Amino acid sequence: MKNTMKTFVFLALLTILFVFFGNLIGGKSGATIALVMAGIMNFIAYFFSDKIVLATSGAVPVSREEDPELHAIVDEVARSAGIPKPKVYMIPVDVPNAFATGRNPENGVVAVTAGIRRLLSREELKGVIAHEIAHIKNRDVLISTIAATIVGAISYLAQMAQWSLFWGGFERDDDRDSFNPLALIGLIVGIIVIPLAATLIQLAISRSREFIADETGARLIRNPLALASALEKLEVWNRAYPFDVNPAKAQMFIVNPLSGKSFLKLFSTHPPIEERVARLRALASELGGRKF
């Protein structure tokens, strides 16, 4: 519940930033244009994200005959979650990781790497699958798209302002007077600071949704320690052998595939593994301390 509230607070903050920046830059018309442009791009991404991500990651469908155990786990967890069974895909790489995509539970997809199938035990793999199915159940693709739309609109506004300043200034539709020097300085600071603040909020939303998926998935299988153990193993591997993926897609994976590189916490798409594991162990105590 705490992390769910954080998500809505962060989305509200993004909206406030957008409205403030839109009025500062171009009044209502400028903000509307930016929001519409960002909305169109993210609407397309929302409806075709599963196909785009699967194609760019090299994932291929896995039949029940090819991997009956994996399908059985996905079946079991999906039933517990009360959603249709997601499609199952495999990424033919040795680095162990996994992600989920799909705009709603009816179009869900779970993809795992070949490496994760070799590394994890059945219970650990079940924990990972539960985490990914939790993303689908919680409609995190939709939440991420809303956040991306607002951040994209703010970025468009910043670009509009930069070009306007480059060409000698601009007028807002509700203010025909020229800016005074202090207002101009404030505008320049806003062009730099507000898009950065919006990006940081977007990353905070991503981290918050990871915590929620951890808890939701662990409760689905009533075995938080299995997921905690899997996260620890995956973190070790991904630090040693970072997965070469587009940074924009890194937030989709259960652990940061770029974690071999240095990131400040504020600029990370994922919470620290130590914190995720600590929360899962606390949840295990709450649920009776079940060992995996």
State the catalytic residues.
Answer: 132
User: What is the helix (H) or strand (E) element at residue 110, kind and residue range?
Assistant: strand 109-113
Residue 178 to residues 159, 169, 174, 181, 186, Cα–Cα distance (Å): 20, 8, 12, 10, 14
Place of tokens 């839109």: 22
Place of tokens 């079991």: 76
Distance CA 210, CA 89 (A): 21
Beta pairing, strands 109-113 & 98-101: antiparallel
CA 69-278-208 angle, 5° bins: 80
Residues β-bridged to residue 175: 172
